[in-house]
Each structure stands twice: as structure tokens, then as C-alpha cells.
Amino acid sequence: MSRQLIVDVHTHVYPPSYMALLRARKTVPYIHDPAEGADPRLIILSSDDDPATPPDERGRPVDASYSDINVKLDFMKKHDIDCSVISLANPWLDFVPKDEAQEWAERINNDLESTCADVNSEKDKSLFAFGALPLSAPSSIVVAEIKRLRTLPHIRGVIMGTSGLGKGLDDPDLDAIWGALEETQLLLFLHPHYGLPSEAFGGPEVIARYGHVLPLALGFPLETTIAVTRMLLSGVFDRFERLQVLLAHSGGTLPFLAGRIESCVLHERKFVANGGDTPGPKRGVWDVLKTNIFLDAVVYGSAGLQAAVAAGSHDRLMFGTDHPFFPPLHDEDEKWPSVTTNYKAIDSCFGEKDSESIGMVLGGNANRILKLGFD
């Protein structure tokens, strides 16, 4: 039997043009170059930019793995990954001034497309991409970019954060964008960046005490959960029944909390958004989870993965790595624990008797859902 196809749907890049954009800035997000030739520092989370920390130590080191596609290809080889669907990493183009957003989106998306085309001309179908959206521009420009992305041969969807046009994902002004995504059937990869306000964790001193653990382990997944719940409560999935969304990190905490969300909706008398005495969303969470939502398998444990399978389905779950984030801390030649943990979680979630489901999660689902064209 030939080896199972492995597709990574959650893997990021900062193309060189985006690195230059970050280097030119002095406020979050920015790249700082230490004087002594050490790796540049990437300061992208607001909690990274603590004035009490010297700039040379702020944020995290950003090496070639963020921008050099050959480093990603080596990483794929090391971990037996056949194909990666690359996406710009957070915070995408959210911070770009409104009158520059369209140009940056076109430039970065063209960079992504040509990277995929160049690599695929040498290696068979190794790379596809999710495009980035110029969300600070008027929505007509965003819609135009979505339609243009549909014509680029290696683009399979778009990546987006949770702020939308600045007011969150229940903003009615997003309807034109949801409509364009539905019409083009480009998958929306919803990914966190902003986390939770620092007060949720006890303030900036508490966060700093534990490095990135609180914002990344808890802030990110809750941010995703809140964003998608706001979409659901405001009826986005009632109005756009064919919208397809891939949620990062196995849906944050959505699979675990879906029942509670559904129950609270059923017990709520005041949907002020809908006129005060009218019912909330017509479609329930479980239905949306099985119809509109896909989950990645980036959850690092079989308990979380089992919740994702139970809430969604084994044929809606797709392997991912979150490369180049979470590299090994000590031995850079070893396989990345952040990747092997996800492989192990998939194996133990389904067990060796269910190799068919394992195969689907590792690559079969991505191949079908994203129309990658593997036999």
C-alpha cells in the first residue's frame, strides 16, 4: 500500500515583502533588529511589547523559517508532509492604512501564488495557499480581492482574523464579504491574533510571569470561540447557508462548549440584535458545525481531538502544524514536538483499527475539501 497522503492546512509564512513592511514599523506589529547580529525579534502580540523588557529580548526570534520557503520545504520533508496550504501569519494586513491595503494584499497574494507555482513546477503539487484580505479598505475592495483570488490557480481560500472590518465578525457590513466567499466557495480560515484583554489573566504582570503561555494557550482559543459564536448569534450562517469556515486550533473551545452555547441560546428571551422579542439564530450550533465548519487538528491532545470529532465529524477535520511557530527549544535537528504531538493525538484518537479515519484527517479530507487534485 502506498504511504498515506499528508497535507498541512495550518502553516504560515511571512513573505519577504511582509517582513520589510514589519521592519519599517516601530509599533506592534514590528520587527526589531538587535545590534549584535542576533536573530531579529518579532513583536506581534501587544503583550510582547512590554517597555520593561529591553527591545533585544522582546517578542520572539524570527529566523529564516518565517520567510524562506526552502526552510518550510525542509520542514515538510522532515515530518513526511507531502503538501502544505500556506497562509500569511497574524496579524495579516489588519494594521495597514486603509489607502495602502489593496496594494499590499495584491502584492502579498501574488507572492504567495508565485511561490506555489515555482515550487510546484519542480515538485508535484507541494504547495497551495490561503490569500490575505485588505480588511482595512472599504468592503467593495475586499470583495474585489476575493473575486481576483478565485482566479489564481493555487489559492484555495482566505485567512482572516477575528476583528473583521474592525467591529468583530457579527458586523452587518461584513455581509458583502460573506456573500463573496459563499459565491466563490473559497474557504475562510479563521485564525486568532488578539487574544483576550490582559485583565482576563490578572493584568500584564501576570502574563509576563509566564511568557506566552496564557495568551497563546488560552487567549487564542477563546478569541476564536467568541468570534465564531458572534457570527452564529448574529445569524451569519442563517443568511449564508453555504459559507465554509475552517476554525484554527480545532475551533478553540467551540466543540467543548457547543452544548452550552446552544442551551444558552434556547434560554435567552432578549435577542436585542434581532428586535428584542424575536428568536435568535434559526440554525443551531450542531447543525452549523456539521454543515459550515471545518476544524484543523492542531490541538495537541486526543481529548481535544475527540471533542472536535464528536462535535463536527472525522471527515471535517484536517491535519496542521502551525509551522514556523513552536519550534523545538533545545535540539533543532529533532522532529518538532509540536508536530509529533499532533500526529500522536490523531493516532490515539482513532486507534490503529481506524486507519481510514486517520488517513482522512492526515490528508484525505484536505485533498477533497480543498480540491488539491491528488489521486
Q: Decide if 217 contacts 161 (C-beta within 8 A).
A: no
Question: How many residues make contact with ligand URA (CB under 6 A)?
Answer: 7
* Distance (Å) of CA 44 to CA 104, 123, 282: 18, 33, 38
The one of Zn ion, ligand URA, none whose footprint includes residue 8, by CB under 5 to 8 A per kind, is none
The one of Zn ion, ligand URA, none whose footprint includes residue 72, by CB under 5 to 8 A per kind, is none
Beta-carbon contacts of 335 under 8 Å, excluding residues fewer than 6 positions away, are 78, 79
The site map against Zn ion for 189-208 (x = CB under 5 A) is --------------------
* Distance (Å) of CA 30 to CA 37, 207, 208, 291, 344: 17, 20, 19, 38, 35
Is 171 near Zn ion (CB under 5 A)? no
| Choice from 176, 216, 218, 222 touching ligand URA (CB under 6 A) | 216
| Choice from 13, 21, 44, 69 touching ligand URA (CB under 6 A) | 44
The one of ligand URA, Zn ion, none whose footprint includes residue 216, by CB under 5 to 8 A per kind, is ligand URA
Q: For residues 171 and 322, which CB has a smaller minimum distance to Zn ion in the complex?
A: 322
Cβ-count burial 259-274 (b if 16+ within 10 Å, e if not): eebbeebeeeeebeee
Q: Determine how many CB atoms are found less than 10 A away from the CB of residue 137.
A: 23
| Choice from 82, 223, 296, 322 touching ligand URA (CB under 6 A) | 322
Q: State which of positions 250-309 bind ligand URA (CB under 6 A).
A: none
Per CB under 5 A, the segment of 21-29, 230-238, 255-263, 320-328 that binds Zn ion is 320-328
Is 322 near Zn ion (CB under 5 A)? yes
Q: For residues 46 and 234, which CB has a smaller minimum distance to ligand URA in the complex?
A: 46
Q: For residues 312 and 320, which CB has a smaller minimum distance to ligand URA in the complex?
A: 320
* Distance (Å) of CA 256 to CA 199, 214, 221, 253: 24, 19, 11, 5
Closest CB to Zn ion: residue number: 322
C-alpha cell at 280: 435568535
Q: What is the Cα–Cα distance from 283 to 262, expressed in whole angstroms? A: 10
Report, in angstroms and rounded to the nearest whole number, the Rg of the chain calculated over CA atoms: 20
Beta-carbon contacts of 296 under 8 Å, excluding residues fewer than 6 positions away, are 9, 10, 246, 247, 248, 249, 250, 317, 318, 319, 320
Q: State which of positions 71-90 bind ligand URA (CB under 6 A).
A: 89-90
Binding site for Zn ion (CB under 5 A): 322
* Residues making contact with ligand URA (CB under 6 A): 12, 44, 89-90, 216, 322, 325
